[in-house]
Structure 1
């Protein structure tokens, strides 16, 4: 894992080398081990390296064929050994054992289609001197970030937005449409970001910049059309196939010249990953967890159960309310977008623990919920579908209680609210966003805190309708379950889970996350499974649970899904509300102009009073706080572009 940046002068003028130094210096914490710059004529590439494979020979930017091809690369190609052997058989010669050099030779051999051969997570740029073009690509699920902007006569790209903002010509301005999307979906819809004029390359896409033109081409999308018919193979056969795929996905993700650890949440996904890693790597695996003070969200019992069963060396960190408040501003500095829940903050602390323990690489279980029906939204979709077809069924209250087993004390008023939340008409079943619309509508209620001027500027915006043009042509023929899977994996996964909760908080401490469930072979297999093998009645991840019998503790294999949660509004009002008082003062809110001062003040008073607060209240408070921090750290003048202490440890070179 690393940080990359670069510039291409469209008018063929010389590249500004000092600018490259400033860009890569702004994200040096992503790669504290080494740094380098290549500049020649109109192109400049910069790199900050976190050394993981070929610690000595992997310096970047790297070139071959007398600088005909030059690369700056962030990520890992896990099948690089197999690809290297193929290329050697075709006559290619290598001077290092790095995956970076394999990627260069593969591009030399196969051109832009080389990305179809890759098993990994990446964001890279290759300068193709003979063709005078810049080729950029981002991995299938968007594990690694890649941003770009077009100025007058210049194209700039980088791993993070703050690198682009070091350039004086790049504006510091909030994109209100991006903000509107985030306050609906929890994420922006690529290529948009919350920074005006700065775009992100969508997952599964490549880009060519040549002769002043930008061409973006998708090379992969999760195909949910060709599903296996239930009965064409037995459940046990499919479970065995899944197990073998996961085992190999983890085997190649253990490839590193540094120690590899694993995050252990106490759920089935991370426990499976840790178990298979332990099976392959033995005593080399160490596990890490975050715990909480509240028993409602703490999973330490299951973390200890898993660690004891697997025999791993285990470390954990306790996340208290004051810890969340203490790192919140730095977390937003790294996420580079507002967040509606505080969940990234504990993971920021967890990655710091891994780093301080001497680990640069951790395996984790993200992706399993999206691919194998693990989220509540899949159960909600099934129940709402049932209700839409049988609106008078007496099973409705019982289904609601089965829906959220991790909330054992659902009150009567909560059940009444859920009945309203799940109200559905038969006509709604045919809508393109049936599964997610209730969630999006609930989140969008936070926009009532937008100021009059913000709402006026967004009067013509329709976040949900804007998704229609991004859907696959066959989408309308998919099942409701498949549509829900697509929406989760297409938008929330890359835009929030792998970003604000993934790459950003991990790389803040130079820790690389690896995601075996997002191996494209596993994902393709999962996409072909019928919904009945992912959720049997309301039993989530059915086939995955069958595949790992005996591998992990039975109490974890069979336990109900408990979503990862962290304390939200309560954290800011547990003896530390001066943080809120400073950021959300009426004067500050009025000055920023994004939110309504009166509505914001009423929300703060509600939390301070100790009155019961809703999901919407917690999302709104965290969203307003994080947006205000974002404005404070990034947009109130260029002098405000200052880094947390974690960055200041590193000099540019």
Structure 2
């Protein structure tokens, strides 16, 4: 796990070296073990290394191929590198790293090498003879890759702030990205909050040559879903899933450093810990951040799993005030604004302080195995499509009455649904993830920052692309694909990367092994529907988990954000929102009205609606973006 940087288009090698070193320093937290640069006329590459596999200096990057023609910078892990190494015996390996396997694979298979990799990765290979740069990103988007292009100049990095520190990237706000952020508390790739800074999409490669950029998709969850489960019994499907999941965990335990697992006591993290205990050659270390309030704490469930699997358990008990004190540091660690993230920051901090360099997480279990309420809602909506055939005036009357007599976030969304011309998945899904409604955003911004016909409905466009793929997936798998493309990739994975790497902690996610994802995407709804929480998953692992975990009530300590915003964080929020209101981007009175309505406890203004605006303003100020 590392941080990588690159520049094409600066002929002065002395200047290029200075810039790439500045970019390296900007993301030094990602790789405290080593740092290196490669510079020649027109190209500069940089890398900060967090040593996980082959801890010797042989793993130094930028790394050269055995013939000296290829130069690699790489962030991530290739889990099947040992198997690939057996296929590439003609290559004279000099190290025990997975990095060198990428070079050997590229020499053998060229651009097609990405199809061979099972892992999380973002890498760049400079071909000295051809004078081109090949960039690849993993299928599910676990590792990030940002880039900026202007005329002949091209820069890339693992983080946005490294691009900004280069001084070649204008610190201009992406107005269309701002609208997307207001809708969904994140900006969906390929866009970012910074104008002309983009993110390479998951499952895509990029070729940069002579000022031209060619982007190619090599994988998507829809087009690569397999139908192996089509003619199998439920028992066979469960066994297949168990085998794939067990193999995924086993792959992710390859490391030359101390490792552990995040353990909340929920289904996903408990399954990962259980499987780790079966295949690991050493006692598993588990980490839980819990709170002192016993009534709400998940500590007892984490303790049940730790005892069952005999882990070396670390229960880090915090008071809400302890968490509160870490919020400013967490905000400063945020590479891209997001309405979420502090939780991951805290658990990563305490895990790293315990001497752990790599940890497994249960992230992705909900997206793959229909764990969110949105799956049931989308399933139900498809059975009420007939409502869309009712006269529009009648649907509008019902929606207006609902918001008038029962004002709430849920009522606002129901009203939006009732206004839709149809209740197809691509029409309804984008509304389910919205934080602010279109009418709210228009009031907040006056839409003066963009002509209304230029405001793209990014999530809906993503859904349309999903349908254009021409693959008829089960409905719940369609929702899974939508969740992966939106919330998972652009919020959960981005937050996990930026908040864990702030502490130089590598996080691996077994539920996002692409072979497992491809298989489950092809499973019928009749097996996947969550009659009980993630029924297919819990059935697949059999008696691995005790009943207390599978049948536990939904709970968890809820941090008192609402009260913090009104008390301990009041001055901070007040200042940030007044600063936001002073920007030409916003209608001053509307920003302050949101704040006042929150303080008056209006049901339609939750703390989350306020906090993600505060986070945005803080990020813009800290990074000088306007």
TM-score by length of 1: 0.86
Residue 72 of structure 1 corresponds to: 73
1:633 aligns to 2:622 (yes or no)? yes
| Segment of structure 1 superposing worse, 45-54 or 329-338 | 329-338
Kindly indicate whether the alpha-carbon contact (under 8 Å) linking 1:589 and 1:596 is maintained by their aligned counterparts in 2: no
What secondary structure does 2:191 align onto?
Answer: coil
Displacement of 1:197 in angstroms is: 1.3
Tell me the equivalent position of 1:254.
253
Do the aligned partners of residues 328 and 381 (structure 1) sit closer, same or farther apart at CA in structure 2, a change above 3 Å counting?
Answer: same
* Matched residue, 1:597: 588
Q: Does 1:168 align with 2:167?
A: yes
Q: Does 2:352 align with 1:363?
A: no
Does the CA-based 8 Å contact 1:146-1:160 persist in structure 2? yes
2:484 corresponds to which of 489, 500, 504: 489
Runs (5+) with no aligned partner, structure 2: 389-405
Cα deviation for residue 307 of structure 1 reads 1.7
CA RMSD of aligned residues (A): 3.0
Instruction: Give the corresponding residue for 1:553.
Output: 546
Instruction: Give the deviation of 1:40 after TM superposition.
Output: 1.9
Q: Is the alpha carbon distance of 1:178 and 1:564 closer, same or farther for their aligned partners in structure 2, counting shifts above 3 Å?
A: farther
Shift of 1:483: 2.4
**How many angstroms apart in 2 are the aligned matches of 1:630 and 1:106?**
40
- How much does 1:62 deviate? 0.4
Q: Which residue of 1 aligns with 2:263?
A: 264
**Following TM superposition, by how much is the alpha carbon of 1:430 offset from its aligned partner in structure 2, in angstroms?**
3.1
- Answer whether contact 2:24 2:47 (CA < 8 A) is retained: yes
Structure 2 residue 341 is matched with structure 1 residue 315:
no
5+ residue gaps, structure 1, are 392-411, 638-653
Any conservation in 2 of the 1:236–1:546 contact (CA below 8 Å)? no
Secondary structure in 2 aligned to 1:369? helix
Distance 1:126 1:119, change over 3 A: same
Q: 1:565 to 1:20 in 2, by over 3 A?
A: farther
Give the structure-2-normalised TM-score: 0.89
2:370 paired with 1:385: no
Q: Is the 8 A contact 2:204 2:216 kept in 1?
A: yes
Native 8 Å contact 2:34 2:49 kept in 1? yes
Q: How far is 1:322 from its partner?
A: 3.9
Relative CO higher for 1 or 2, CA cutoff 8 Å, sep ≥ 6? Answer: 1
Q: Distance in 1 between matches of 2:437 and 2:413?
A: 18
Work out whether 1:541 is the aligned partner of 2:541.
no
Change (3 A) 1:459 1:294: farther
> Are 1:225 and 1:474, in contact at CA under 8 Å, matched by a contact in 2?
no
In structure 2, distance between residues paired with 1:418 and 1:155: 43
Q: Is the 8 A contact 1:264 1:274 kept in 2?
A: yes
Structure 2 residue aligned with 1:521: 515
Give the aligned partner of residue 61 of structure 1: 62
Match of residue 31 from structure 1: 31
Once residues 410 and 427 of structure 2 are traced to their aligned partners in structure 1, the CA distance between those partners, rounded to angstroms, is: 24
User: What is the deviation of 1:360?
Assistant: 0.9
Correspondent of 2:441 among 420, 440, 447: 447
Deviation at 1:486, TM superposition (A): 1.4
Match of 2:346 among 341, 344, 349: 349
Q: Secondary structure at the match of 1:539?
A: coil
**1:389-434 Cα shifts (integer Å, max 9, x gaps):** 599xxxxxxxxxxxxxxxxxxxx98899499469669973335233
Deviation at 1:612, TM superposition (A): 5.1
Cα 1:417–1:212 change in 2 (3 A) is closer
Q: C-alpha separation between the residues in 1 aligned to 2:140 and 2:580?
A: 36
Q: Does residue 435 of the first structure (1) align with residue 424 of the second (2)?
A: no
CA separation in 1, counterparts of 2:326 and 2:555? Answer: 25
Judge conservation of contact 1:432–1:476 (CA < 8 Å) in 2: no
> Deviation per CA, 1:533-577, whole angstroms, max 9, x where unpaired?
1115x3342221111121122111233666996554333224332
After superposition, where does 1:267-278 map in structure 2 within 5 Å? 267-278=266-277
In structure 1, what is the Cα distance between the partners aligned to 2:298 and 2:528? Answer: 24
Contact 2:230–2:523 at 8 Å: present in 1 too?
Answer: no
Q: Alpha-carbon deviation of 1:180?
A: 1.1
Deviation track 1:300-333 (CA, whole Å, cap 9, x = no partner) reads 2322222222221222334554455444344344
Cα displacement (A) at 1:355: 0.8
- Please say if residues 14 and 42 of structure 1, whose CA atoms lie closer than 8 Å, have aligned partners that are also in contact: no
Give the number of equivalent residue pairs.
Answer: 609
1:140 aligns to what SS in structure 2?
coil
- Higher alpha-carbon deviation: 543-552 or 6-15: 6-15
The reply on whether 1:498 has 2:465 as its aligned counterpart is: no
Q: State the match for 1:100 in structure 2.
A: 99
Distance 2:474 2:360 in 1: 32
> 1:135 and 1:198 mapped to 2: Cα distance?
18
**Worse-matched range after superposition: 381-390 or 512-521:** 381-390
